[in-house]
Amino acid sequence: MRFFFLFLPIFLFAQAHIFVLHRIDDFRYPYTNTPSKELEKYLKYLKEHDYKVVKLSTLVKLIKEKKPLNKIVVFTIDDSYKSFYKNGLPLFKKYQYPFTLFVYTKATTQHWGDFMNWKQVKECAKYGELGVHSWAHPHLPMLSNKEIIKDTKKAINAFKKYVGYVPKMYAYPYGEYNERVKKIINKFFPIITNQNVGAIDYTSQINDLDRIALTGKVNFLEKLKLKKLHLKNLTIKKNKNKIIEISGTLEENLPYVYIYITSLGWKKIKTQNKSFSYTPNFNLRKYRNRIIIRYNYKIISKLILKEEK
Ligand SMILES: [Zn+2]
């Protein structure tokens, strides 16, 4: 019995969740808007159920130090919209919850109508922390290496000029990246967030942190139940824009997994000796495509882009 704990697999431990918000009470944009009424419900639930809301940098510290991630929640805010400053910030202040704001530096520097100015961004920083969300909000996988570096340096310089320091955190515009993009961005920022649905545990990479979007009206409790599905390996075999095969090996014995591909939907795939193989032979239709692998609340997802450099 004394060896019992050695055999406890890592996926039995509780997991943290990183959420992403964009606009608050800006109903012109339903795909990026969260009603403040909904946001307040989430914050209230977390408060009443003793969740701990922390900054992204705090979560990263907990991951590195292998501290408990039980009931840890992070809110990240992308794009530095004025609607967050107006309708979101007061709620975070009210509940005394910190957040991590990823600044769209070009929009903020050039005073674009929907965006906060640097003074407002710095005021937000008092109640949370700041991260970088590129300079021009490009589709990074469509850019050359040189162009990615140029955009990143512009964002860094804006932070140096207007804030006086450069954050260690970066959020990909549109959540879009690939290995090439990641390698370049990671040279400038140790902590990177994507927009792949998933939960966070000790196996999460701090330069590839999954985030769950809270847009419109969502079932927040269901999102809090999500756990990371652990794979020993995952292979997505492609021929140009055709997905030939999705295969992998699970860390634990599950009877089946559900696999989702954008424009194709879900398919139940039986496993054999923890392994699964799905051969959809499917031509991607959209530019952005999600592949989600799921078993009950255990989930992992990947973003596949149709055309890129
Ligand atoms: Zn954005």
**Nearest CA to 247 among 215, 217, 271?**
271
Task: Please name every residue paired with 277 in a beta bridge, in sequence order, or none if there are none.
Answer: 247
Q: Assess contact for 169 and 131: CB atoms under 8 A.
A: yes
Q: Please return the burial class of 6, using the count of CB atoms within 10 Å of its CB with bins 0-12, 13-18 and 19+.
A: exposed
How far does residue 204's CA lie from ligand 1's centre (Å)?
Answer: 22
Give pTM, 2 decimals: 0.94
Task: Please name every residue paired with 75 in a beta bridge, in sequence order, or none if there are none.
Answer: 19
What torsion, rounded to 10 degrees, do the Cα atoms 71, 72, 78, 83 define? 60
How far does residue 15's CA lie from ligand 1's centre (Å)?
Answer: 25
Domains parsed from the chain with CATH numbers: 9-227 (3.20.20.370), 229-305 (2.60.40.10)
Q: What is the torsional sign of CA 93, 195, 15, 64?
A: negative
How far does residue 264's CA lie from ligand 1's centre (Å)?
Answer: 26
- High-pLDDT (> 90) share of the chain, %: 92
How far does residue 278's CA lie from ligand 1's centre (Å)?
Answer: 32
Q: What is the pLDDT of residues 161-214, one digit of tens each?
A: 999 999 999 999 999 999 999 999 999 999 999 999 999 999 999 999 999 999
**Nearest CA to 107 among 81, 83, 125, 138?**
81
Q: Please return the burial class of 126, using the count of CB atoms within 10 Å of its CB with bins 0-12, 13-18 and 19+.
A: exposed
Q: What is the pLDDT of residues 16-32, one digit of tens each?
A: 999 999 999 999 999 99
How far does residue 141's CA lie from ligand 1's centre (Å)?
Answer: 15
**Nearest CA to 9 among 232, 234, 208, 207?**
232
- pLDDT at residue number 306: 86
Length of the chain: 309
* Mean pLDDT, rounded, of the chain: 94
Strand 191-193 to strand 169-171: parallel, antiparallel, or no bridges (unpaired)? parallel
- pLDDT at residue number 7: 52
Q: Which residue has 């990371």 as its token pair?
A: 228
Spatial separation of the C-alpha atoms in residues 79 and 57, rounded to whole Å: 18
How far does residue 283's CA lie from ligand 1's centre (Å)?
Answer: 27
**Nearest CA to 16 among 171, 206, 176?**
206
How far does residue 136's CA lie from ligand 1's centre (Å)?
Answer: 10
How far does residue 134's CA lie from ligand 1's centre (Å)?
Answer: 9
Q: Which residue has 């000796």 as its token pair?
A: 273
Q: For each successive 10 residues of the chain (309 residues), what is the average pLDDT?
A: 50 82 96 96 97 98 92 97 98 98 98 96 98 98 97 98 98 96 98 97 96 94 96 94 96 96 97 97 95 96 84
